[in-house]
Amino acid sequence: MNFLEERILKDGIVKEGNVLKVDSFLNHQMDISLFNEMGKEWKKRFEGKPINKILTIEASGIGIACVAAQHFNVPVVFAKKSKSINIEGDMYVAEVESFTHKNVNQVIVSKKFLSPDDHILIIDDFLANGCALQGLISIIHDANATVEGIGIAIEKGFQVGGRAIRNLGYQLESLAIVESMDASTGHVEFRQQ
């Protein structure tokens, strides 16, 4: 069992509807030392990849991506979920359905910040059905940039997102893969990696 799995068992809370609350350390209150451990682990798993930029999506991916980026010495770009009047000019756009919020967002990245020369590591906090991730990959393809890999904190292994992405041949490194969870007992079962 790794450091993130241990932390989930210690501080995560299983709720009805396959909700895993990790808001005390991952996506509302954020444990920056933990994020540094995660960055170090991804650096090891993506060793040798010519990563020059990290792409994430607002809001809860940003903190993890920024702290992890220090282990790669690269800038971070975050995809935005709605058009801001301060953003103008050409944008890469993808439609992303949110499992959490039950709606569809446009996800946008300025064309200035993705180019064919870019070798991208995608970082996000959760992977479930994979919609957000597919949107980010689609944007990277639109830019003719390269997806070097995908680093996820917690993957819900019982949902389809991870398998689809691995089937497509991407190197997907989820630091904790939840195989099942039970709200009545609070039990969380992780996939052996």
Enumerate residues 6+ apart whose C-beta is below 8 A from 124.
Answer: 56, 57, 61, 64, 65, 132, 133, 136, 150, 151, 152, 153
**Segment near a second copy (CB under 8 A), from 21-29, 41-49, 117-125, 156-164?**
21-29
As measured in angstroms, the least distance from the Cβ of 66 to a second copy is 4
**Segment near a second copy (CB under 8 A), from 3-11, 79-87, 133-141, 152-160?**
79-87
Strand partners, 15: 19
Task: Determine the 3-state secondary structure of 9 from DSSP.
Answer: helix
Q: Is 160 in the site for a second copy (CB under 8 A)?
A: no
As measured in angstroms, the least distance from the Cβ of 14 to a second copy is 12
Reported as half-sphere exposure (CB side, CA atoms, 13 A), residue 63 has a value of: 15
Strand partners, 39: none
Which of 23, 97, 142, 173 binds a second copy (CB under 8 A)? It is: 23
Tokens 């195989």, residue? 179
- Nearer to a second copy by C-beta: 112 or 163? 112
Length of the chain: 193
Task: Determine the 3-state secondary structure of 190 from DSSP.
Answer: strand
- Nearer to a second copy by C-beta: 69 or 165? 69
As measured in angstroms, the least distance from the Cβ of 124 to a second copy is 13
Q: Is 121 in the site for a second copy (CB under 8 A)?
A: no
Reported as half-sphere exposure (CB side, CA atoms, 13 A), residue 122 has a value of: 29
Q: Which residues bind a second copy (CB under 8 A)?
A: 19, 21, 23-25, 28-32, 35-36, 58-59, 62-63, 65-67, 69-70, 74-78, 80, 84-87, 100-102, 109-110, 112-113
